Copies of this chain bind each other. A is one copy, B any other.
Amino acid sequence: MLDRQTIRLQNNEEYTVFVGEHTEPEFRKLAASAESRKALFFVDENVYRLQADLVNFLKSLFNEPYEYIIPAGEPSKSLQQWYSLVDFALNCGVTRNTPVFAIGGGVTGDLSGYAASSIMRGLPLVHVPTTLLATVDSAIGGKTGINHTSGKNLIGSFYQPRAVVAPLRCLDTLPDEEFVCGFGEVLKYGAIADPDILNILKGKDLLSLRENTSLLGTLIQRSIKVKADVVMKDTRESSLRMILNYGHTFAHALEKICGYGTISHGQAVYMGMIAAGILSTELGADISASLIEQHHRAMGMEQAPLHISGRELTAAMQSDKKKQSDTLRFVVLKKYGRPYIESVKDTVMIEKTWDQATARIKELNES
């Protein structure tokens, strides 16, 4: 499999996603084409510490590099932090050609992307995702944003990067939990569009992939391809893009109740997929739950929050969505690779689905 994919957008713009071990030539090419002596580097504080070589290499490619270190964690997706980046950039005397390198995970990418889109109506943005989750998900697709007291990502823009370059070696310094976290989305891509992903992972321990860069690269490329295919057809999230939310209606409600950070996004998506799988089966799907469930222990389900009832979860979904309509919409499967959207008015059905899901998780924990 190639290490490069091109994303062509509906407005005929396009950009390249490069994932690999040797990213230096990619970065050199980007710097050479930048038409700017200056460059901005918005870097997650942990990455700044753990991947100093990478950051220093990138800075060495420009005559006037300016770096800004972003505190790790979700609270950085704030108005204050966003404005701090924008103000920093403008005080550096950037021009419209000055590239912005967003180096870090999802928080860094969402925040820096929104800042880049806001400065002089948009500076060229290069995403350098350093987590598995950001590489297969948030760095692809052009969503940027910060949080508001009333919800996550409510302030932001659709803004496509000039390029995405993911150095695989950054995954080496990722803690195990964060590495595994990314597999929530990888499994999701398998479920909605590329069942081979599920089959490749059959019988494999997720953590063992840390040592198998070649297979890991393949899984990442296949994942990006699924997301890119959807984004290319639906840049601004009208309808098709909704299939990317498989498992996520459950997951978002769960994260909201538990409080962000107490459960990883990957764990929430995994639990959401257990529920979405049950719902799909209820609606007549023919899918083998074991292709997801076999990764139960790897996903760290011993610590899963099983005390949340279907009633409580459904209420959280409704408070989230009541603004739009009374009906809840779920992504479900006919079979792996064949998703569709089901509108559900009968919330009792959803309550029961979630209660069955937590019962199943308990059963798997005890088996």
Contacts and interface: CB of A to CB of B under 8 A. Distances in A.
Interface string A86-111: 11001101110000000000000000
A303 interface: no
Nearest to A235: B11
Given A12-B10, A79-B83, A121 B156 contact: yes
A349 interface: no
B86 A155 contact: yes
Given A86-B155, A90-B150, A150-B90, A323 B118 contact: no
A121 B148 CA distance: 13
A10 B11 CA distance: 6
Interface residues of A, number: 34
A195 interface: no
B157 A143 contact: no
A367 interface: no
Interface string A1-42: 000000000111000000000000000000000000000000
Contact of A145 (B93, B121, B156, B323): B121
A90 B323 contact: no
Contact of A119 (B83, B117, B155, B236): B155
A305 interface: no
Nearest to A237: B121
Interface in A130-156: 143-145, 148, 150-151, 153-156
A339 to B, nearest CB: 21
A262 interface: no
Contact of A90 (B91, B95, B148): B148
Nearest to A151: B90
B12 A118 contact: no
A120 B157 contact: no
A324 interface: yes
Nearest to A322: B93
A158 interface: yes
Contacts of A118: 155-157
A156 B121 CA distance: 5
A122 interface: yes
18 contacts: A10-B11, A10-B12, A11-B12, A79-B83, A86-B148, A87-B148, A90-B148, A90-B150, A90-B154, A91-B150, A93-B323, A95-B324, A117-B157, A118-B157, A121-B144, A121-B156, A121-B158, A121-B236
Interface of A: 10-12, 79, 83, 86-87, 90-91, 93-95, 117-122, 143-145, 148, 150-151, 153-158, 236-237, 323-324
Q: In the A-B complex, list the 9 residue pairs whose CB atoms are closest, starting with the nearest.
A: A11-B11, A95-B323, A93-B323, A121-B156, A95-B324, A90-B150, A90-B148, A121-B158, A118-B155
Given A86-B148, A119-B155, A121-B156, 20 more contacts: A10-B11, A10-B12, A11-B11, A11-B12, A79-B83, A86-B155, A87-B148, A90-B151, A90-B154, A90-B155, A94-B323, A95-B324, A120-B156, A121-B143, A121-B144, A121-B153, A121-B158, A122-B157, A122-B236, A157-B157
